[in-house]
Amino acid sequence: MHSLLDQPYELPADAIAFYQKNRFVKLKNVLDADTLAYYNEAISRKVEFLTNQNQPLDQRDTYGKAFLQVFNLWREDEASKTFVLSKRLGQIAAQLMQTDGVRLYHDQALFKEAGGGITPWHADQYYWPLSSDKTITAWIPLQPVPLQMGPLEFSAGSHAIVEGRELSIGDDSEQKIAQRLRVTDFQHVIEPYDLGEVSFHSGWVFHRAGANQTDQVRKVMTMIYMDKDMRLKQPENRHQINDWNTWCPGAEVDQVIDTPLNPVIYG
Ligand SMILES: O=C(O)CCC(=O)C(=O)O
């Protein structure tokens, strides 16, 4: 069960132009119902097995309420590996960023539990010791995501502002970035996701998600890709040091990140 994952996706030129301008795009029919049903089951099984969250929701902080987070599933079993190393998704990532190819930075499952809280405003790349902005996350719902379930929201084109990039995810980032974005013209885009829709967003665009007000888990798998020629930069905060040790151990500052954990997926 993986054929679609290796088939090319016809990415329209206007989707690339939209991404280049806004630094996110949501695409229809990237995956089909059979593929999603199969990997929903395989990935859910893995998340249930690997999650180390055992505190009740109401006793967690804002970050803890946002989702169950399980990393690098591709190292755990064959089904997840097939999904994460999908050429179809890697091809879209490369074409949107206009790079010759992409490598994996890491994957993560983000399961927002029934009754789970908001994901505060943030920009991902604050956490990453990566030398260019050629980074992109595929956000792949394993079922439809109606508005009440907490779809990913974007501030279109907000990669252009620097203020707020230095905030880690939490109450402070939610409040300060929202305040900053209110006095800009960037559109706040909140849309449901149909089955098969996948969004891609770049490392510096600001995004958030609402709470999950349904009684179903919002199951999302994500892959973070980087330009295949991405170099490691000197880390600028403790998160970036931690990321270096965790997602690309052995990579050297100013050198291309070419470790066994960062395979070229496309190109
Ligand atoms: O799934 C979410 O609620 C947040 C996801 C996110 O911030 C990301 O994938 O960069």
The verdict on the CB of residue 209 being under 6 Å from ligand 1 is yes
Widest distance between CA atoms in the chain: 48
Residue 50 inside a domain? The answer is: yes
On the question of pLDDT at 87 being above 70, the answer is yes
Residue 267 inside a domain? The answer is: no
Contact 93, 23 (CB under 8 A): no
User: Could you tell which of 139, 155, 190, 213 is best to mutate to test the pocket of ligand 1, judged by most ligand atoms within 8 Å of the CB?
Assistant: 139
Q: Give the CATH number, domain containing residue 223.
A: 2.60.120.620
Contact 135, 105 (CB under 8 A): yes
Residue 38 inside a domain? The answer is: yes
Which atom of ligand 1 lies closest to the CA of 112? 3
Helical spans, DSSP H, in the chain? 13-22, 33-50, 62-66, 78-84, 87-97, 171-182, 238-247
The verdict on the CB of residue 137 being under 6 Å from ligand 1 is yes
Residue 206 inside a domain? The answer is: yes
The verdict on the CB of residue 152 being under 6 Å from ligand 1 is yes
Tell me the pLDDT tens digit for each residue of 111-144.
Answer: 999 999 999 999 999 999 999 999 999 999 999 9
Q: What is the pLDDT of residue 2?
A: 58
Residue 151 in 3-state DSSP?
coil
Residue 266 inside a domain? The answer is: no
Residue 28 inside a domain? The answer is: yes
190 lies in which domain range? 2-261
Tell me the pLDDT tens digit for each residue of 202-260.
Answer: 999 999 999 999 999 999 999 999 999 999 999 999 999 999 999 999 999 999 999 99
The verdict on the CB of residue 119 being under 6 Å from ligand 1 is yes
Domain count of the fold of the chain: 1
The verdict on the CB of residue 186 being under 6 Å from ligand 1 is no
Tell me the pLDDT tens digit for each residue of 137-188.
Answer: 999 999 999 999 999 999 999 999 999 999 999 999 999 999 999 999 999 9
